[in-house]
């Protein structure tokens, strides 16, 4: 049956940066589609609180706090999962930060922090997941890019460079892993109603620009990413590789 294509029962999904925001919405959506979810965040308390909240709805949830930018932290986290016999079938590389500052005012350390969190983390976590998916000959990798995976905006250069890298890292992952029945794809969210964007949402001029520039004439809601996330995490996308699906109200499609 067609709806079975989107059924995630029996699958386990790790969503990085899922204590709140887009990651938490995606994790909830994958759980509603039947997956067991492993929540991640760098802050243990926030991660465990988010896991308790999700579990209170009857979902199978585990908190796994670790720092996605630290190789040792990542490898130890996967060793914990190995020890518990938990195989990650679906990896959503969502963790990310924003830093808005003109290039000429940026410190290298500020640039590096954004690149490490938004891009290098997807390599480190993706590598550990794929090392385990390849022998199993099955896996799903969903990298969270951005509207900025293809377009630039002033004052968000490191974020834009990282998200552009996410798009092409996804294509490189597809090149190497598709033969092992691992589908690597990306989602490019547009302007979404998240804490990370609160300063923009509260700015009447920016709010007006987003609504005018977006064909849907509104900001996106985090739960509006769930459809694309379930699709790219399910059997329904078994012949989809290296693609990015923009969930942006049409912003990237029009002048």
Strand, helix or coil for residue 151: coil
Q: How far apart are CA 166 and CA 145, in angstroms?
A: 6
In order of 62, 106, 152, 246, the CA distances from 102 in angstroms are 39, 6, 13, 26
44 touching ligand GCO, by CB under 6 A: no
191 touching ligand GCO, by CB under 6 A: yes
Minimum distance of ligand GCO from residue 56's CB (angstroms):
29
Contact present, 238 and 177 (Cβ < 8 Å): no
Contact characters 195-214, ligand GCO, x per CB under 6 A: -xx--x--------------
Minimum distance of ligand GCO from residue 2's CB (angstroms):
30
Radius of gyration of the chain measured on its C-alpha atoms: 17
Residue 147 class from Cβ within 10 Å (0-12 exposed, 13-18 middle, 19+ buried)? buried
According to DSSP, the β-strands at 90-93 and 244-247 are unpaired
Minimum distance of ligand GCO from residue 149's CB (angstroms):
8
Residue closer to ligand GCO, measured from CB, 79 or 102: 102
Site for ligand GCO (CB under 6 A): which residue of 94, 98, 117, 183? 98
Minimum distance of ligand GCO from residue 191's CB (angstroms):
5
222 touching ligand GCO, by CB under 6 A: no
**Count of residues interacting with ligand GCO (CB under 6 A):** 14
Diameter over CA atoms, the chain: 55
Q: How far apart are CA 232 and CA 218, in angstroms?
A: 25
Stretch that binds ligand GCO, among 5-13, 58-66, 193-201, 218-226 (CB under 6 A): 193-201
Residue closer to ligand GCO, measured from CB, 93 or 197: 197
Position of minimal CB gap to ligand GCO: 147
Residue closer to ligand GCO, measured from CB, 88 or 142: 142
If one counts every other C-beta atom within 10 angstroms of the C-beta of residue 171, the result is 15
Active site residue 159: yes
Identify residues 129-168 at the interface with ligand GCO (CB under 6 A). 146-148, 153, 156, 159
Residue closer to ligand GCO, measured from CB, 126 or 188: 188
Site for ligand GCO (CB under 6 A): which residue of 17, 158, 190, 249? 190
Minimum distance of ligand GCO from residue 196's CB (angstroms):
6
Minimum distance of ligand GCO from residue 146's CB (angstroms):
4
Contacts of 6 (CB under 8 A, 6+ apart): 33, 230, 231, 234, 235, 236
Q: What is the DSSP letter of 221?
A: P
Strand, helix or coil for residue 171: helix
Degrees to nearest 5, angle at CA 123 with 60 and 185: 65
Would you please indicate which residues are annotated as catalytic (active-site) residues?
A: 159
Residues of this chain that interact with ligand GCO (CB under 6 A) are 98, 100, 146-148, 153, 156, 159, 189-191, 196-197, 200
């Amino acid at each position: 049956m067609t709806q079975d294509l989107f059924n995630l029962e029996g699958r386990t999904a790790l969503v990085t940066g899922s204590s709140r925001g887009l990651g938490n919405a995606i994790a909830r959506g994958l759980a509603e589609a039947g997956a067991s979810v492993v929540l991640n965040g760098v802050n243990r308390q926030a991660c465990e609180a988010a896991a308790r909240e999700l579990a209170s709805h009857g979902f199978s949830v585990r908190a796994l706090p670790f720092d996605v930018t630290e190789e040792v932290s990542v490898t130890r986290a996967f060793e914990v999962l190995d020890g518990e016999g938990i195989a990650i079938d679906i990896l959503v590389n969502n963790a990310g930060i924003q830093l808005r500052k003109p290039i000429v005012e940026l410190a290298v350390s500020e640039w590096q922090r954004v690149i490490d969190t938004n891009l290098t983390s997807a390599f480190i976590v993706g590598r550990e997941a794929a090392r385990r998916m390849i022998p199993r000959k099955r896996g799903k990798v969903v990298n969270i890019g951005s509207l900025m995976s293809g377009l630039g905006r002033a004052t968000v250069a490191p974020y834009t460079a990282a998200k552009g890298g996410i798009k092409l890292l996804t294509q490189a992952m597809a090149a190497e892993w598709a033969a092992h029945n691992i589908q690597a794809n990306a989602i490019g969210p547009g302007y979404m109603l998240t804490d990370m964007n609160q300063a923009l949402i509260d700015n009447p001029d920016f709010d007006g620009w987003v609504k005018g520039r977006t064909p849907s004439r509104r900001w996106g809601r985090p739960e509006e990413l769930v459809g694309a996330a379930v699709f790219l995490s399910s059997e329904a996308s078994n012949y989809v590789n290296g693609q990015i699906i923009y969930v942006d109200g049409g912003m990237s499609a029009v002048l």
